[in-house]
Amino acid sequence: MKFTAEQIAGMLNGKVEGDPSIEVNSLAKIEEGHTGALSFLSNPKYEEYIYNTDSSVCIVNDTFSPSSSLPITLTLIKVDDAYSCFAKLLDIYDSMTKEEPRIESPSFIDDSAKIGEGLYLGAFAYVGRDVKIGDNVAIYPNVNIGNNVEIGDGTIVYAGATIYRDCIIGKNCIIHAGSVIGADGFGFAPDEKGEFQKIPQIGNVIIEDNVDVGANATIDRATMGSTIIRNGSKIDNLVQIGHNAEVGRNTAMAAQVGIAGSSKVGDNVMIGGQVGLAGHLKIGNKVMIAAQSGVIGDVKDGAVIMGAPAFDSKEYKKSYLGFRRLPRILERIQVLENKIKALTKD
Residue 181 belongs to a domain: yes
Same domain, 261 and 177: yes
Tell whether pTM > 0.95: no
* pLDDT confidence band for 292 (50 / 70 / 90): very high
Which amino acid does the sequence have at 221? R
Q: Is the peptide bond before 309 cis (omega within 30 degrees of 0)?
A: yes
Same domain, 74 and 200: no
Q: How many residues does the chain have?
A: 346
Dump pLDDT digits (tens) for 183-229: 999 999 999 999 999 999 999 999 999 999 999 999 999 999 999 99
Residue 139 belongs to a domain: no
Residue 217 belongs to a domain: yes
Residue 345 belongs to a domain: no
Q: How far apart are CA 264 and CA 272, in angstroms?
A: 17
Q: How far apart are CA 161 and CA 177, in angstroms?
A: 5
Last residue of a domain, one of 40, 72, 96: 96
3-state SS class at 41: strand
**For range 77-83, the mean pLDDT:** 96
Last residue of a domain, one of 75, 96, 117: 96
Same domain, 196 and 292: yes
Residue 154 belongs to a domain: no
* pLDDT confidence band for 288 (50 / 70 / 90): very high
Tell me the CATH number at 203: 2.160.10.10
C-alpha closest to that of 203 among 183, 223, 228, 181 = 223
Residue 334 belongs to a domain: no
Query: Catalytic site residues?
Result: 243
Same domain, 166 and 292: yes
Q: What is the pLDDT of residue 345?
A: 75
3-state SS class at 45: helix
* pLDDT confidence band for 346 (50 / 70 / 90): low
Q: Where are the alpha helices (DSSP H) in 196-255?
A: none
Same domain, 175 and 304: yes
Angle separating helix axes 5-12 and 82-96, nearest 10 degrees: 110
Tell me the CATH number at 83: 3.40.1390.10
Last residue of a domain, one of 96, 119, 149: 96
Residue 89 belongs to a domain: yes
**For range 41-56, the mean pLDDT:** 95
| Close Cβ partners of 248 (under 8 Å, ≥ 6 residues apart) | 230, 233, 264, 265, 266, 267, 268, 269, 285
Domains in the chain: how many in total?
Answer: 2
Q: Which domain range does residue 24 map to?
A: 3-96
Q: How far apart are CA 331 and CA 343, in angstroms?
A: 19
Strand partners, 252: 234, 270
Same domain, 291 and 168: yes
Q: Do 94 and 75 touch, CB atoms closer than 8 A?
A: no
| Per-chain mean pLDDT for the chain | 95
Q: What is the pLDDT of residue 231?
A: 98
Q: For 206, what's the count of Cα atoms within 13 Å in the CB-facing half-sphere?
A: 15
Residue 186 belongs to a domain: yes
